Amino acid sequence: MGNRKIKHFAIENRIEELTSLAEQIDNLAEEWELSPALAMNLNLVIEEAISNIIFYAFKDKVKHEIKISISLENKRLTIIITDNGIPFNPLEQQQPDISLPAGERPVGGLGIFLISQIMDEMNYERNKNENILTLTKSI
């Protein structure tokens, strides 16, 4: 199966956009015949990355576009997320200590960690004024 499938999405930097994005991802998962578990993980990874961008990347009150492309080729799933917010390299974020008991466990900081656990590879690039996050997973 050498054929490559690709879908592009674009949303505004508003958290409400996640609802329709999730529906579109569910539709894509159905169209590409991805398992429900994989569809959930795909949604999860994208939600974590996008919510981080929406909450932290923009210091102004202006509308911004966040672009998401999802492709599948030779059983390899690639997600590319591009935003024009402040430089942010998620790979440099401190990883949580998941061995801590509940009383000592800090609340939050799990989003990027979940992405790194679910995906095989995570790459970050700053190009001109854009953050480009590339996530891949063999399925």
Footprint on residues 99-128 left by other proteins (CB under 8 A): 99-103, 105, 107-108, 110-111, 113-114, 117-118
- Cα of 112 vs its chain's centroid, Å: 9
The answer to whether the beta carbons of residues 73 and 137 sit under 8 Å apart is no
As measured in angstroms, the least distance from the Cβ of 91 to other proteins is 17
Site string for other proteins, 59-98 (x = CB under 8 A): -------------------------------------x-x
Beta strand residue intervals within the chain, DSSP E: 5-12, 65-73, 76-83, 121-127, 130-138
Site string for other proteins, 12-51 (x = CB under 8 A): ---xx-xx--x-------------xx--xx-xx--xx--x
Cβ nearer to other proteins, comparing 6 with 100: 100
- Measured from the Cβ of residue 11, the count of other Cβ atoms closer than 10 Å reads 19
Please return the burial class of 108, using the count of CB atoms within 10 Å of its CB with bins 0-12, 13-18 and 19+: exposed
To other proteins, the closest distance from the beta carbon of 48 in angstroms equals 6
- In DSSP notation, 30-56 reads HHTT--HHHHHHHHHHHHHHHHHHHHH
Beta carbon of residue 112, minimum distance to other proteins (angstroms, whole number): 9
Question: Which residues sit at the interface with other proteins, rule CB under 8 A?
Answer: 15-16, 18-19, 22, 36-37, 40-41, 43-44, 47-48, 51, 96, 98-103, 105, 107-108, 110-111, 113-114, 117-118
